[in-house]
Structure 1
């Protein structure tokens, strides 16, 4: 009731002083705040909340997705393909010594950026790895330091946007591709070296002691057994050997892991390798690991391969290479850990014990009491004595717990065994997955930060290598192939085959042919993707939404299936990749040596930019009867091979620029011949035959391209004569160059001999010993710097030239020092 009376009196006083509408609103807000009783106001003060603070304003409405305040960006339209001529002087175009050539024109072209751009310049990924480090390794985080954080965390949309990976540019992509290739070569060399170590006789002799006669008998079944019996004997031997090996080998170090990109160069400055990194870097270290049976699990797999080879089993060393990726969106290296403020579990435990000992000593002295026990509320809580905990000392230490190595749950190295009964290679992994004959257990998930299966290479005992990725990848075409070099560039597959050719035996055996058929069948049995994103760049299937600007369907193509984006999304048809054709504009087909047939209907119109200039439209768009704005494109079936007019009576056809377009060999006119040489125009001009400079392409600098003229087109009957003149011109240039070199050499020798004569004249009649002492004394000045007497020699040389003498003897006119005088 007392609270209500105070509220009434306050309201009465407020109403008496209010005189405006603004005052009345303040009164109502004051009355609304005064309704809070005093006890609650005190609680709000204790909670650090101001009871008289103004109410927060109503938050603004969130802008819908796609709304923007600024106006849409309008980009200027790119000009169409136009040509222009410029007059160039004879001296600037080409300079010849004897025969001046007629002036030539320079053809310039402007590239249309819409038509030339590639849609795959920017790489996007479908997996967001930004949240993986916090959710992936919950089991591993249990062994780390426990940190309690009571601060509230709010996930806003701006934070999510900041965590997204930005797409990489074309230059960055090319740089990453080159680094990816170099890293692949280094990893292959590393695995090839470890494979050689597995054949080391000392290592195999050390490991052979682990085998029993029973194991060797099982691992090498006799030919008298049936096909099933031989395979079962091999499995029994591997099971016994694997049980023994995994109990004796101790994993004490960290092996190979996935290579990651750093977001910033600053993150690499403080980066250092872990303390438990693999130490077997040379062959002596590998031999020590074979004796101690300890090391990383990679070394364990390599020693297991050496153990099987020592038993007479044909075994391969298989490695899942971990190169740096060339795409964006994957996990990154992250910031280096901060050393300050971090304590290990043992140090934290010791510190807690020291704090407890201080609290007990404080309570016994009566200086202060534990505020936590004071707030318990029990009357006898203060009488409870906390037992004293002594910190660990050097005399009584806790038992050492082996440090847990944080690695992927999937192997990097394993072994393949040849099942001779079925002529098939089978995987074996006793340390990580403890499995054999199960290739599906080797591939890690896409969320694994420590392991990514992109290249799996198997090395045999003779050093040959084979790519066996298709045996272990469940979705090779849909997912794995996108991370390999084959999908990065057009020549990637050829480059990878060339690399593996260095590790081939030079011929294909029957076993290799069987394995190739098996891998091909495994790839063909891969099911159709279930995710829409996996259809992008798929080598077998394609969706219409993933078509590039210049890709269209073949007329009459039938769908192979349908797929929907979610449960409520519309169904989309799935087509075969072979039913997708590439369409090009008239200009592009012309540069490929083909022309569009007349009256052909374009299969598609490439849209232009939003803003276009009226004078930038090319002839194709101006002649378009439909008035559609865009570049028409046509398929291969709508074109024929382009042919220039034939050469008649030695006259070569030319365009309005005085040259002839020769982009491909098929564009050479009938009855003509193409002479690909820089001196072709000069030779044809000397002979006086008709010719046309060959335009072989355009050299672009930005969007402006200048025509490249290389070689000439002449009549076929004049080809041999032109080539003969070119050979004579090259011989003449070689003779002139040789003559210039000879003159320069003679000039040098003349100067050298003149110096020798000057020296002989200066020291004539002087003993050799005195000459040597004088030279040593005159070589250096008072400060110790070396000086020369060049001016004395020059004066003496001038005198010798004037007198015709050198060194006290007359110069023979017919013979002087082995050279004829000028």
Structure 2
């Protein structure tokens, strides 16, 4: 059958006839093989009508004709490719077009090519990109359509999900319980080290050589203002002190130069590897010894911390009562604070390799072009100012640039800018004698005085954090003055301190700061304590919802714990909103919050719920996995009610009164004991005797008793009842105590008898040894015996065989004891009853 020729309109305005014969490959079959679509079998000799091109997706039509691309795999076929085609296959087929631009590629391959074309725009990269997509080899006909698109989707989604999960994981990493405990210990140790450091610097401020060096910078006018006389009024003395501080601050600002970096906030490293590439700044403070401190007093250069310390020494040199104040910067014990910045190589975004290489290559090309142009356009010789300006005729002018000595000197001597927190770490407090009040002053950073609330940095400051502010006096004593400088000490600052991190945090901090307190507080100390307490009491209500959490004065209903409820009729003290459009929430006093417990927990505290009481709250169910008796009992309580476990406040309970002791009989529970968790649970007419022998004494005397259950001891998930003593009738108390004493006396007698038996056994061994010795030396003269003793002692001392002979002697005596005294030598007739006498002959 001769193949017909027909003209097909091409999308580029071109027409091409496909000849029946020839060795040219069939492009359509090749593209079907590349796309993984099974080739249709020839079943019908007639060609069905072709549908219109309207159903073809718009993204499959190329905007411009592409150059023909050779197929990577040629398929030899002698069958007619236009026979046996369905309507769907005819819609995408063009048997007379041998160009790639007229073939509709299946959708999965087209999507991949479009993604590649969005990344690169060069024609050469398009060919490489098509070859990369063409890695799909022809698959079997049955699986090709289902596997290929699925593989492309999984690759994209997996990469996206992996990147998203990694970013989410790096956003915040909560610390474990062990890590928190370790950070708390490090926080404590760091606090003690910082206190010792500041105490050392405060001692340097009293150095006479430093003070004499700094006193020379003060004028008589400054000294007169700073030391007002007692003849002035209270207001006059304060104003004189302010004027003197103003003059000294002006002098200090003009003379002192900051050349180094001072103390900054300590940061944690998220990973150990981040510390390997960490390098401290090159401009760290170099004042490490008193000699360096004296040198800084001469040169008036150093860090701003040294500047504040020198300023304190300056004021003390003329008799002004000045305290060195430091805002300690310890390592935080939580995970919310800022961390050490990561190394640059870890923060660098991972771009596609082809983009990076292209950018680097293009930059290199631009540099080569610029160098070539500059070398071709400019003559050989030194670069001039106009040539650097880029003027087209600048190279025609040959003149030497004149140096500007003033500018060069100014740029060379310009002080290096040190990037630090705009808030100080060290400053000075002076005593306003007129008002008996300590006032802050700082001429180095803030350049202010009498303004304590401006020293607190914001929470976003990564270089400085105000949590512990300690003021050191000239005599070495110190005081915690954090409440004077914190704007929200109760709401914010208190959460950064060790006092809220541990149950005994306040006691620990008081114990540490007690080492720096004076032995006997003065009147000025008491006045300052009252002032700080008033500052804390006058702190206003927080404006942020998060600050109400664990606040000691105010509370929100959303922040109440599981076992906390508000008392009935609690009056709100105000309202607060979480945002501009959020609803208002009522703010209650913390004193209106009560702790509620279940009936069994109240019973363990010696109280029971009053009858007909409505629960203050119903706790939701929760699974209790403990296998102890207590845990199983609570699990049954949760399962009994649909609403959960009812809890009650202390106002809904009353003191528990157990059944009294009657006729000497103690009431017991089903386990045969009595629950005495608190002393008030001892029944009337009974007494609780805590002694390990009390139960035995009562049993010996025939008195009824009940073991006292005082609590439970939990090890892991297992609970064990703790029995301590017994409860008996009160009239039998003396008898039981006497029985206990009798048991103790008997035990003491048994112990004495054991000791007596051991002593007699040792004496028997000693006497047996003496008898054996006497029998051996009975036929030897006195002088010969003495000589033998001396020789034996000398040999034992010389050879060190004394211990060996003693061991052999003990073995012989033990063998004689085991035989009932038999064997050995005959000592006398008195030993005949003990089995002694003569040698034993086998």
Moved more, 666-675 or 397-406: 397-406
Aligned: 1:411 with 2:424? yes
1:5-84 correspondence runs (5 A):
7-9=12-14, 32-35=61-64, 44-45=121-122, 48=125
| Distance change in 2, residues 1:655/1:797 (3 Å) | closer
Aligned: 1:661 with 2:675? yes
> How far does residue 44 in structure 1 lie from its aligned partner after superposition?
3.3
Check whether the contact 2:623–2:635 (CA below 8 A) recurs between aligned residues.
no
What secondary structure, in the 3-state scheme, does the structure 1 residue paired with 2:268 have?
coil
Instruction: Name the residue aligned to 2:621.
Output: 608
Instruction: Name the residue aligned to 2:718.
Output: 704
| Distance change in 2, residues 1:617/1:409 (3 Å) | closer
Instruction: Name the residue aligned to 1:195.
Output: 202
Residue correspondences, number? 662
Moved more, 181-190 or 320-329: 181-190
Check whether the contact 1:263–1:333 (CA below 8 A) recurs between aligned residues.
yes
| Distance change in 2, residues 1:169/1:680 (3 Å) | farther
Aligned partner (choices 642, 656, 668) of residue 642 of structure 1? 656
What secondary structure, in the 3-state scheme, does the structure 1 residue paired with 2:516 have?
coil
1:469-508 correspondence runs (5 A):
469-508=482-521
| Distance change in 2, residues 1:796/1:685 (3 Å) | closer
Check whether the contact 1:416–1:427 (CA below 8 A) recurs between aligned residues.
yes
Instruction: Name the residue aligned to 2:329.
Output: 322
Moved more, 546-555 or 28-37: 28-37
Instruction: Name the residue aligned to 2:555.
Output: 542
> How far does residue 171 in structure 1 lie from its aligned partner after superposition?
4.0
Distance in 2 between residues matched to 1:48 and 1:219, nearest whole Å: 80
Distance in 1 between residues matched to 2:526 and 2:583, nearest whole Å: 45
| Distance change in 2, residues 1:571/1:16 (3 Å) | same
Q: In structure 2, list runs of 5 or more residues that go unmatched.
A: 1-8, 20-25, 30-46, 68-116, 134-147, 154-159, 349-363, 381-389, 402-407, 627-631, 774-784, 818-826, 828-842
What secondary structure, in the 3-state scheme, does the structure 2 residue paired with 1:207 have?
helix
> How far does residue 715 in structure 1 lie from its aligned partner after superposition?
3.8
Aligned partner (choices 439, 448, 451) of residue 438 of structure 1? 451
Structure having greater relative contact order (Cα 8 Å, sep ≥ 6): 1
> How far does residue 229 in structure 1 lie from its aligned partner after superposition?
1.3
What secondary structure, in the 3-state scheme, does the structure 2 residue paired with 1:44 have?
coil
Aligned partner (choices 183, 188, 196) of residue 181 of structure 1? 188
Distance in 1 between residues matched to 2:245 and 2:766, nearest whole Å: 81
> How far does residue 457 in structure 1 lie from its aligned partner after superposition?
1.7
Q: In structure 1, list runs of 5 or more residues that go unmatched.
A: 62-152, 342-351, 369-377, 390-395, 780-787, 805-810, 812-822
Distance in 1 between residues matched to 2:744 and 2:597, nearest whole Å: 42
> How far does residue 385 in structure 1 lie from its aligned partner after superposition?
12
> How far does residue 162 in structure 1 lie from its aligned partner after superposition?
2.9
Check whether the contact 1:763–1:771 (CA below 8 A) recurs between aligned residues.
no
Question: CA-to-partner distance for each residue in 1:191-226, whole Å, 9 max, x for gaps?
Answer: 233333333444434433333332222111111112
> How far does residue 33 in structure 1 lie from its aligned partner after superposition?
0.9
Check whether the contact 1:7–1:31 (CA below 8 A) recurs between aligned residues.
no
> How far does residue 417 in structure 1 lie from its aligned partner after superposition?
1.0
Moved more, 293-302 or 379-388: 379-388
Aligned partner (choices 225, 230, 233) of residue 223 of structure 1? 230
> How far does residue 263 in structure 1 lie from its aligned partner after superposition?
1.4
Distance in 1 between residues matched to 2:205 and 2:478, nearest whole Å: 15
Check whether the contact 2:215–2:317 (CA below 8 A) recurs between aligned residues.
yes
| Distance change in 2, residues 1:612/1:282 (3 Å) | closer
What secondary structure, in the 3-state scheme, does the structure 2 residue paired with 1:262 have?
coil
Check whether the contact 1:606–1:630 (CA below 8 A) recurs between aligned residues.
yes
| Distance change in 2, residues 1:734/1:264 (3 Å) | farther
Q: Which has the larger radius of gyration?
A: 2
> How far does residue 792 in structure 1 lie from its aligned partner after superposition?
6.7
Distance in 1 between residues matched to 2:188 and 2:753, nearest whole Å: 47
1:191-340 correspondence runs (5 A):
191-269=198-276, 271=278, 273-335=280-342
> How far does residue 451 in structure 1 lie from its aligned partner after superposition?
1.1
Aligned: 1:460 with 2:537? no
Distance in 1 between residues matched to 2:726 and 2:509, nearest whole Å: 38
> How far does residue 707 in structure 1 lie from its aligned partner after superposition?
1.2
Distance in 1 between residues matched to 2:376 and 2:543, nearest whole Å: 71
Distance in 1 between residues matched to 2:180 and 2:305, nearest whole Å: 31
Aligned: 1:162 with 2:191? no
Question: CA-to-partner distance for each residue in 1:580-624, whole Å, 9 max, x for gaps?
Answer: 2111111111122211111111111111148999x987665677x
Instruction: Name the residue aligned to 1:92.
Output: none
Question: CA-to-partner distance for each residue in 1:654-703, whole Å, 9 max, x for gaps?
Answer: 22222222222222323333334444434544555443322222112233
Check whether the contact 2:563–2:596 (CA below 8 A) recurs between aligned residues.
yes
| Distance change in 2, residues 1:467/1:723 (3 Å) | farther
> How far does residue 279 in structure 1 lie from its aligned partner after superposition?
3.9
Distance in 1 between residues matched to 2:765 and 2:292, nearest whole Å: 63
Check whether the contact 2:621–2:638 (CA below 8 A) recurs between aligned residues.
no
| Distance change in 2, residues 1:225/1:667 (3 Å) | same
Moved more, 480-489 or 541-550: 480-489
Distance in 2 between residues matched to 1:180 and 1:286, nearest whole Å: 28
1:573-612 correspondence runs (5 A):
573-609=586-622
Distance in 1 between residues matched to 2:703 and 2:575, nearest whole Å: 65
Distance in 1 between residues matched to 2:415 and 2:750, nearest whole Å: 80
Question: CA-to-partner distance for each residue in 1:721-748, whole Å, 9 max, x for gaps?
Answer: 6556656766877887799899999999
Distance in 2 between residues matched to 1:243 and 1:535, nearest whole Å: 43
Question: CA-to-partner distance for each residue in 1:636-668, whole Å, 9 max, x for gaps?
Answer: 110011122233344333222222222222223
| Distance change in 2, residues 1:675/1:187 (3 Å) | farther
Check whether the contact 1:691–1:713 (CA below 8 A) recurs between aligned residues.
yes
C-alpha RMSD of the superposition: 5.4
Structure with bigger helix share is: 2
Distance in 2 between residues matched to 1:328 and 1:181, nearest whole Å: 16
Distance in 2 between residues matched to 1:711 and 1:201, nearest whole Å: 69
| Distance change in 2, residues 1:700/1:799 (3 Å) | closer
> How far does residue 484 in structure 1 lie from its aligned partner after superposition?
1.8
> How far does residue 470 in structure 1 lie from its aligned partner after superposition?
1.5
1:664-679 correspondence runs (5 A):
664-679=678-693
Distance in 2 between residues matched to 1:739 and 1:402, nearest whole Å: 91
Instruction: Name the residue aligned to 1:137.
Output: none
Distance in 2 between residues matched to 1:617 and 1:798, nearest whole Å: 66
What secondary structure, in the 3-state scheme, does the structure 1 residue paired with 2:13 have?
helix
